[in-house]
Chain A
Amino acid sequence: MEATAEQLLWMYEKMVEIREYEETMAKVYLEAKLPPKVQKGLAFDIGAGPVPGEMHLAAGQEPVAVGVCAHLRRDDTVVGAHRPHHFAIAKDVDLNAMTAEMYGKATGLGRGKGGHMHLFDPAVKFSCSGIVGAGAPQACGAALAAKKLGTDAVAIAFFGEGAANQGAFHEALNLAALWKLPVVFVVEDNKYGISVEKSASTAIASNADRAVAYGMPGVLVEKNDAVAVFEAAGVAVARARRGEGPTLIEVKTDRYFGHFQGDPETYRPKGEAKELRQHDPIPALGALLRSRDLLDDEADAALRARVSARVQAAYDFGRNSPYPEPQDALLHVFAE
């Protein structure tokens, strides 16, 4: 399935947006966390600053999100993981409300209750979880619902190669295959689960091979490339929509930042992240667009200005929104 010009441009613009979003977050997140303030010798106060708590950024992993989401509709479900921004942006989650959530503001997706790892936007059927592996069975549930309700919606579960060692992953694959659910499992192999290399956590080289055990197609995308992901995902999503069941896709991708912001990255060979950036998938897609006369300097500049305006507006919105009232902590334990 070949990407149309429109789809290629969409993926490019979304990747630029995700990257700008993440690079901006990397800066905003550090505000007031440095220099040492609370305690002598404190290098970094994770609870300080406008965006507190853990922060997992996905710069480098954009192709996975856009290559899959290019095939999705609003009524398709995406369940992301603890590193959720690229999926959320590619699924068109409300950018302002998403950002406000990370600032802990009343205007956030979860009114400040959830934060960065727990983003919920029912309007575009997006959710995620801080519990590794938890999303896979949940995507099965969404797919089961589509089947029961007689729609042709599909569900995507995104997670890392580390998560593929969880029981939940294996149970979900069996369920999906058994019930022929319209679901696509997408594993991002960024080589590490926090500090543990894939070779030290997973007995086989590619999770795509595991599909055999459950009787579904397994596809390995060996390049961190939006078009390659698009092609693999296109086949899988179409198959799911036709009611032919699930697919497991693994994509080799790259994480440019540490596992979380503030990660000392002692496990990573020096300069690895810098080296990875030499193979940045965004300029690569830009070059492809140019070679097909779909992009020139002027259009690129216009696109980048558009994206910057959107991202900046989201951060402004988040920063300038009011905090919830403290006692709002008591609300929303149960549905009214």
Chain B
Amino acid sequence: MSTTTTTRRLTMAQAISEATAQEMERDPRVFVMGEDVGKYGGIFSATTGLLDKFGPERVMDTPISETGFMGAALGAAAEGLRPISELMFVDFFGVCFDQIYNHIAKNHYMSGGACKYPLVITTGIGGGYNDAAQHSQCLYSIFAHVPGLKVVVPSNAYDAKGLMTSAIRDDNPVVFLYHKGIMGLSWMSYFEGSTNEVPEEQYTIPFGQARVVREGSDVTIVTLSQMVQKSVLAADKLAEEGISAEVLDLRTLVPLDRAAVLKSVKRTGRLLVADEDYLSYGLSGEIAALVAENIDTVRLKAPVRRLAVPDVPIPFSRPLENFAIPQVENIVASVRGLMTFKLDQ
């Protein structure tokens, strides 16, 4: 049997709205709500075109009432609908976190599995465009920390479409975090690698499967989201110096593809975690712990290195923000450091 696949180059924003549209066509229970998701098409264009296709009953602009519409998503999901609820910037979760972490995340568990809450929370993350401390965070680790939420953080359009389709079809609450700097917005500079070939047909990408973006033998860079694009650029530079870096895109934090991390680090013997979230108590610590816990099977040639935001709020000013958020040069420098390290045998 032969199937023809048509692909086009899409931005990540287009891929997300296409996945959403196709699922809305397939399943009348799916609907979208959030601030400015209608006429505006979402501030980061994640819902562009949906209002025209599906009308205001299924693409609902909400008041600025995050507690209200996150709680409403839960209530609607409990009745069998499949809401997609957009929190414009992840930074705003603070005003509605009770609905998310005490209810959306826990009700299935507390019902002993009796109740299901198939909903998706979409939200924009990340800095790099000088929007300061309340509009530039990643915070995915906070969501991943709470049991009961699946956490998806795509790095490119192809993955975003497949992961979004999976997210909508999942019977669990899924938090889907897209980095503004890789959405392909016309008003933000970004890293080319996130716009790529995307099939028109629907497809799913299962959660919990990391992707080797670039193979390498000297060092493993474990990363996600926009840091994937930065890590690939860093790997290019390192290659010029004869250092072969493997870039592993986690794609989902919950579930986490631990096996892929271990497999790669076993091969390379060196690990750098490159993360745009805060350093302490987060993703980078989780990955480092994973390797430490498996140190009996992983032969390290150097200590684990973590590159993340050094536990400061994201500052506004350009030189400050550049310093706080890990850049390509920082990744390069960290890897160089790992390569020169001599572990006493």
Contacts and interface: CB of A to CB of B under 8 A. Distances in A.
B188 interface: yes
A325 B324 CA distance: 12
Interface in B93-143: 94-95, 128-135
Q: Determine the interface band of chain A, counting residues with CB < 8 A from chain B.
A: 35 or more
B132 A53 contact: yes
Nearest to A265: B40
Contacts of B341: none
Interface string B292-331: 0000000000000000001111011111111110000000
Interface residues of B, number: 46
A151 interface: no
B320 A165 contact: no
Nearest to B96: A167
Contacts of B190: 38-39
A113 B313 CA distance: 9
A196 B135 contact: no
A51 to B, nearest CB: 9
Interface stretch (B62-70, B158-166, B204-212, B232-240): B62-70
Nearest to A330: B312
A194 B187 contact: no
B240 to A, nearest CB: 23
Interface in A169-196: 193-196
Nearest to A261: B187
A161 to B, nearest CB: 10
B187 A329 contact: no
A45 B131 CA distance: 12
A134 B133 CA distance: 15
Contacts of A167: 65, 67-68, 95
A333 B134 CA distance: 14
Interface stretch (A57-65, A125-133, A217-225): A125-133
Interface string A69-98: 000000000000000000000000000000
Interface in A116-153: 116-118, 129-134
B95 A131 contact: yes
Contact of B134 (A130, A323, A327): A130
Contacts of A101: 316
Contacts of B315: 112-113, 329
Contacts of B62: 196, 201
21 contacts: A39-B190, A41-B186, A46-B130, A47-B318, A54-B131, A104-B318, A108-B317, A112-B316, A133-B64, A133-B95, A165-B63, A165-B65, A167-B65, A193-B64, A196-B38, A196-B61, A267-B40, A324-B317, A324-B319, A326-B323, A330-B310
Interface of B: 35-36, 38-40, 43, 61-68, 91-92, 94-95, 128-135, 186-190, 192, 310-313, 315-324
